[in-house]
Structures are given as structure tokens and as C-alpha cells.
Amino acid sequence: MISLYPYFYEQFQCKGAACKKTCCQRWEIDIDEDSMDRYRKETGLLGAELKSYITCKDGIYSFVLNENGYCHFLKDGLCRLVLAHGEDYLCDICHMHPRFFKYLADIELCGIGLSCEKSCELLLAPMPKEIKIHQQNASHWDNQLVFVDEVGQLYTVTHIMEILGVSVEDLEFQYTPTPNVDYYAFILGLLHQTEPIDEGWTQLTNVMRAEIPKIVEQVFNYIATHDSGYDAIYFNRLFQYILYRQLDMATIYSLESIISYAHMNTEFILMRSAITGDYFLETANWSEQIEYDTENVEKLLQRLDT
């Protein structure tokens, strides 16, 4: 089995208090049994808090969130459990987040999820020197998302497809913005039907659906002033990364539908970025709503596969 990692995988490190969008909110954080054994043994004030702010439903333990939807143990952007006992004291989900591992044929697809602000920033991280040494025609790789296996071999999305035996002649793995009223109405109509993470998502999609011509104009203006440099690189790599994360779904849905899924969601993030100017935050917001709800992913793929 080949294990693939985005080239920046080892560079990931939680931003802690510097993060504008903490992951310690809104999620239902299930606690594995080994971690529960540690928490049951905790004494003192922290032990009393753990007993008070952990609940059990249908045999599954999870943390209780406060009235604002935040984990009770979050303070000033930092986890008090980590401050007290170190990162190894975290439950498995908190310890591994936002890393993911998916499988397709003989390939393990590893990565870090885009709901994390730091993960989004790493899409623009410079290539490590040890990787650059092995590159040929380096300019060809500039805007590509590069993956690395255990022995340092480099792969693009196209290379991964070739390993899987997929004919790539008629497939397009480069992102091209497609701002037009009909396409945006289609995208927003589909996204509006996804299960909302909160009322804000429903309100957002309602507002955007009512302002599609204006948004198309904003995107054209945004492209005109951001069509080179880091912005163009970011959106192309983003498109390829969204595609990469759902490649395991190719056993259920057509590859064309997965490519369409990646394009429409990248286009939505472009819409939001044209409005707010913050593509890191808009990527994280989108990922939290779509990628981290497998039912939403499948709902979109089903619609695109028909």
C-alpha cells in the first residue's frame, strides 16, 4: 500500500490562541474509552469539572458544550486539558483533528482537513528544500498540489489517477473560475439543500441566492485583481485538494461527478472570498459545513452523479 501525504503535512501545528476560528466549538466531540479511563481517574478541581462536563448517550461519552457552543475546557484559545497534562492527555478525536485518512484500492490518502485555519494557510506553504531537490521542470509544479509517499516520491493528482489506472486524457485537474448566473444559481441551490450546521448557513445561502448577478460581478472584479500570484495558486491547489479528499468516493460515484463536486465548491469559496476578501476563513467555513458532514458530501455527489 502507498501512503500519500500533501507536501505540507509535517508542517502542521495548531495555532492555539492565535487561531481566529477554533475547532473547539459546535462539534460533538466523542471520547474514546482509553481517554475516559484517564478522565475518570483525574482528581481535584479538574477531575470534578471532567465529571460535570462529560455526558453519556447510548454508551458514547462526549464533552458538554457551553451556551455559546464552545468546549468548556477552552480558555483564551487554548485547551486547559493540554495545559494541565500535555497533548497526549487529549481524547483521540481532539488529538488527531484535523488529520484524515481515507482509502482507495492500494492507496492511503492522508491529509489535514480544511475546516482548520492553519490547514488552509498551508496550501500556500513553500516546498521544503528536500522536495525541491528532486523536482524536474520546477515551474511546471508551481501551482500544483504535490503529494509525497514514504520514500519521497512526488505525485500530482494526475499521477494518482494514473496509479489507479484511470485514463486522464479527457479529465481536467486544473481549476478555471466560471462565474455566470446560471452556474451560480445551480451551486447555491444545491448548497442551500445541505443540512445546515446552524441557522447562519441557511441565512447565508438565502441572501446569496437573492444577489447572484451582484455576486457574479464581484467575482469578475476579484479575478481581475487577483488572477495571478498566490490567489491563483491557492484556488488551483484548493480545487485539487477538495478532489483528493473525496477520491475514495470513486468506488460509488463517477470520477466526473467528484471533479464537478470539487469545482462547484471551489467556485463557492471563490464567491465568498470575492465578498469578504478572506479565502482562508471562507475555506474553513465551507469545510465545516460540507466536508465534516458526510451526509452533505454524499447528498451533493448524488445530485451531481445523476
pLDDT digits (tens, 9 = 90+) for 34-52: 999 999 999 999 999 999 9
Which own/partner contact pairs does 258-266 have at CB distance under 8 Å and 24+ positions apart?
258/301, 259/171, 259/172, 259/173, 260/304, 261/297, 261/300, 261/301, 261/304, 263/175, 263/178, 263/239, 264/186, 264/187, 264/190, 264/300, 264/304, 265/290, 265/300, 266/175, 266/235, 266/238, 266/239, 266/242
Pairing between strand 107-112 and 2-6?
parallel
Pick from 24, 27, 25, 49: which is nearest to 39 by CA?
49
Listed by start position, the domains of the chain span 24-96, 181-304
pLDDT at 139 over 60: no
The answer to whether the beta carbons of residues 195 and 295 sit under 8 Å apart is: yes
pLDDT at 135 over 60: no
CB count within 10 Å of CB 172 equals: 10
Share of the chain above pLDDT 90, in %: 54
* Four-point Cα dihedral 212, 215, 217, 219, nearest 10: -130
For 285, residues 6+ apart whose C-beta sits below 8 A from its C-beta are 21, 272
CB count within 10 Å of CB 86 equals: 9
pLDDT at position 7: 92
Pick from 85, 91, 22: which is nearest to 53 by CA?
91
**Residue 133's pLDDT band (cuts 50, 70, 90):** very low
- Give the Cα separation of 191 and 267 in Å (integer): 12
**Residue 227's pLDDT band (cuts 50, 70, 90):** low
Helix or strand (DSSP H, E) at 185: helix 181-192
- Give the Cα separation of 12 and 170 in Å (integer): 34
* Four-point Cα dihedral 88, 91, 94, 95, nearest 10: 30
pLDDT digits (tens, 9 = 90+) for 255-304: 999 999 999 999 999 999 999 999 999 999 999 999 988 899 999 999 99
